[in-house]
């Protein structure tokens, strides 16, 4: 072999005896075939076989396999973000003339996708109150192809009765999809509670370090594999094995990270609930949180993300108070090692439920910093807002 050929050829190195604990990172666009016949028959390798790097490498398959086991599904597909998983789930299964029913507390980008893209493709979009399944039942008919659920819902944390929702949806032949990002499959397995498809934003607790985007989509039945796989292929969507290896590594510590964050979050949520400036704390483990009984029945735990609503009139003061935080940082996303707080506005992101409070929900994600330093922030924030709440009693307590 000449030098120029040596430098571009894969060296034949034995891996015999090399048994490491980590999953190797396999990068590939091209997959090489041993013969012309094998190349021509590559489609017969099936959805688990290898034919082109975009459709999977041993690294991405390892991550998919782990998630399939956690979700009790038959096949998982990786996508470049949590939102991509949600969009692809819908795009794979809907066609013009179909209807979709979406929970009113859905991740805002899903609402946007439905309003701007699904409607453009002739799909009829409607919303339902995740806490009023009697109303959902009234909206169901055989043209409904998908009932989309996110439980607990983004920001406002309502927990839906997924088994009942699935029973109603399946009765008219609809498919049930569920975004399970808050609980992760460690604490809730939607496919065991009636869903046909579950999505996760791996960007959050799985990745766990606020530095990688990825999503997963797991199906319960073999019949759903082909439509999803084909849609991913036609849209040219796959993920980098380097990113997959970061998620494979991040998720190994996920159970201890979530467990710790949830414990600290629960203490804080309980304490905040008793503060004069606080109207409500939205966190499924709290008995006052919407859908708490359903959470207690179906979920085996909580994560470290909760939301706080302040007494009427305090919203304009929250921003300045946040700027005094020392350990919590302000930013979107969550589920990482750093504690985050984000002032969220529901704005036009509700269409069939009323929001009775000021349009400001403060979302907290508890990370892994020293607890006493996080508590110092929480206390400072509450004391400052309590001072304003007490100074403005008329605004603080108008019914």
Binding region for ligand PLP (CB under 6 A) = 81-83, 86, 107, 150, 154, 179, 181, 201, 203-204, 213, 215, 333
The nearest distance, CB 45 to ligand PLP, in angstroms, is 30
- The smaller minimum CB distance to ligand PLP, of residues 86 and 275, is found at 86
The nearest distance, CB 181 to ligand PLP, in angstroms, is 4
Alpha carbon distance 346, 229 (integer Å): 34
- The smaller minimum CB distance to ligand PLP, of residues 140 and 195, is found at 195
The nearest distance, CB 123 to ligand PLP, in angstroms, is 20
Q: CA quadruple 120, 123, 124, 127: dihedral positive or negative?
A: negative
- The smaller minimum CB distance to ligand PLP, of residues 133 and 157, is found at 157
The nearest distance, CB 193 to ligand PLP, in angstroms, is 17
Helix (H) or strand (E) holding 357: none
Inter-residue contact 148 to 101 (CB < 8 Å): yes
- The smaller minimum CB distance to ligand PLP, of residues 86 and 353, is found at 86
The nearest distance, CB 167 to ligand PLP, in angstroms, is 23
Listed in sequence order, the residues at least 6 apart from 215 whose beta carbon sits closer than 8 Å to its beta carbon are: 78, 79, 80, 81, 82, 83, 84, 85, 86, 199, 200, 201, 202, 203
Number of neighbours of residue 251 by Cβ within 10 angstroms? 21
- The smaller minimum CB distance to ligand PLP, of residues 107 and 127, is found at 107
Phi (first) and psi of residue 245, to 5 degrees: -70, -30
- The smaller minimum CB distance to ligand PLP, of residues 83 and 261, is found at 83
- Closest residue to ligand PLP: CB criterion: 82
Task: Give the Å distances, CA to CA, from 271 to 103, 182, 292.
Answer: 30, 22, 18
The nearest distance, CB 202 to ligand PLP, in angstroms, is 7
Inter-residue contact 241 to 27 (CB < 8 Å): yes
- The smaller minimum CB distance to ligand PLP, of residues 275 and 283, is found at 283
3-state secondary structure 45-113: HCCCCCCCHHHCCHHHHHHHHHHHHHHCCCEEEEECCHHHHHHHHHHHHCCCCCEEEEECCCCHHHHHH
Alpha carbon distance 258, 264 (integer Å): 10
Listed in sequence order, the residues at least 6 apart from 305 whose beta carbon sits closer than 8 Å to its beta carbon are: 182, 265, 334, 335, 363, 364, 365, 366
Q: Radius of gyration (Cα) for the chain, nearest Å?
A: 23
The nearest distance, CB 395 to ligand PLP, in angstroms, is 32
The nearest distance, CB 305 to ligand PLP, in angstroms, is 8
The nearest distance, CB 213 to ligand PLP, in angstroms, is 5
Q: Which of 385, 341, 380 is nearest to 363 (CA)?
A: 341
Strand 215-219, strand 278-282: pairing:
unpaired
The nearest distance, CB 216 to ligand PLP, in angstroms, is 10
- The smaller minimum CB distance to ligand PLP, of residues 203 and 289, is found at 203
- The smaller minimum CB distance to ligand PLP, of residues 78 and 281, is found at 78
- The smaller minimum CB distance to ligand PLP, of residues 171 and 332, is found at 332
- The smaller minimum CB distance to ligand PLP, of residues 57 and 203, is found at 203
End-to-end Cα separation, the chain, in angstroms: 85
Paired with 28 in beta bridges are none
Alpha carbon distance 97, 144 (integer Å): 9
Give buried/exposed letters for 20-29 (b at 16+ CB in 10 A, else e): eeebebbeee
The nearest distance, CB 43 to ligand PLP, in angstroms, is 31
């Amino acid at each position: 072999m000449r030098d120029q050929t040596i430098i571009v050829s894969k060296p034949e190195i034995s891996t015999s005896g090399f048994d490491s604990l980590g999953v190797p990172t396999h990068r590939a666009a091209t997959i090489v075939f041993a013969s012309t016949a094998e190349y021509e028959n590559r489609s017969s390798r099936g959805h688990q076989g290898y034919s082109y790097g975009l459709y999977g490498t041993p690294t991405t398959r390892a991550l998919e396999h782990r998630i399939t086991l956690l979700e009790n599904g038959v096949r998982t597909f990786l996508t470049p973000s949590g939102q991509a998983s949600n969009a692809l789930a819908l795009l794979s299964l809907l066609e013009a003339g179909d209807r979709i029913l979406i929970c009113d507390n859905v991740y805002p980008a899903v609402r946007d996708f439905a309003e701007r893209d699904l409607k453009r493709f002739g799909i009829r979009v409607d919303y339902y109150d995740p806490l009023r399944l009697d109303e959902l039942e009234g909206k169901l008919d055989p043209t409904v192809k998908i009932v989309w659920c996110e439980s607990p819902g983004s920001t406002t944390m309502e927990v839906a009765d997924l088994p009942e929702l699935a029973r109603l949806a399946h009765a008219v032949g609809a498919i049930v999809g569920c975004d399970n990002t808050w609980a992760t499959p460690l604490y809730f397995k939607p496919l065991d509670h009636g869903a046909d498809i579950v999505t996760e934003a791996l960007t959050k607790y799985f990745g766990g370090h606020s530095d990688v985007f990825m999503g997963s989509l797991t199906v319960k039945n073999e019949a759903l594999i082909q439509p999803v796989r084909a849609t991913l292929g036609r849209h040219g969507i796959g993920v980098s094995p380097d990113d997959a290896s970061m998620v494979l590594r991040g998720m190994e510590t996920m159970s201890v990270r979530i467990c710790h964050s949830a414990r600290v979050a629960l203490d804080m949520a309980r304490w905040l609930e008793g503060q004069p400036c606080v109207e409500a704390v939205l966190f499924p483990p709290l008995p006052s949180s919407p859908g708490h009984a359903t959470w207690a029945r179906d979920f085996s735990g909580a994560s470290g993300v909760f939301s706080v609503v302040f007494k009427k009139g305090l919203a304009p003061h929250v921003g300045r108070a946040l700027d005094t935080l020392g350990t919590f940082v302000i930013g979107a996303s969550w589920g990482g090692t750093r504690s985050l707080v984000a002032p969220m506005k529901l704005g036009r992101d509700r269409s069939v439920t009323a929001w009775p409070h000021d349009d400001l929900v403060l979302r907290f994600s508890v990370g892994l910093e020293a607890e006493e330093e996080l508590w110092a922030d929480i206390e400072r924030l509450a004391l400052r807002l309590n001072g304003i709440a007490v100074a403005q009693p008329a605004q603080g307590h108008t019914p």
